[in-house]
């Protein structure tokens, strides 16, 4: 669980945590869980799952774009 943190005056801070693993018996299938928050001062977080490098990159890109556009 992410815990709220105070940011410096005027600073916005977010976090994206990626947990990767390979499931045994799944022919080396990559798995990922992405936990993200756009605002460390809030307890709001979302979690996504991904099963390929492309899906992981797509989630990271979407999170970064969403963070950069949010005001």
One digit per residue, the tens of pLDDT, for the chain of length 71 reads 545 555 556 688 899 999 999 988 767 789 999 999 888 887 889 999 999 999 999 999 999 998 888 76
Q: Would 51 be classed as within a structural domain?
A: yes
- CA atoms within a 13 Å half-sphere pointing along the CA-CB vector of 13: 13
Q: Would 41 be classed as within a structural domain?
A: yes
Measure the CA–CA gap between 61 and 70, rounded to whole angstroms. Answer: 14
Number of domains in the chain: 1
* Domain extent for 27: 15-69
**pLDDT at residue 17, as a whole number:** 96
Q: Would 24 be classed as within a structural domain?
A: yes
Q: Would 10 be classed as within a structural domain?
A: no
């Amino acid at each position: 669980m992410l815990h709220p943190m105070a940011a410096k005056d005027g600073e916005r801070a977010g976090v994206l945590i990626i947990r990767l693993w390979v499931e045994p018996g799944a022919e080396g299938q990559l798995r990922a869980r992405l936990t993200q928050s756009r605002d460390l001062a809030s307890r709001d977080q979302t979690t996504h799952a991904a099963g390929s490098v492309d899906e992981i990159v797509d989630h990271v890109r979407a999170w970064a774009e969403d963070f950069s556009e949010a005001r």
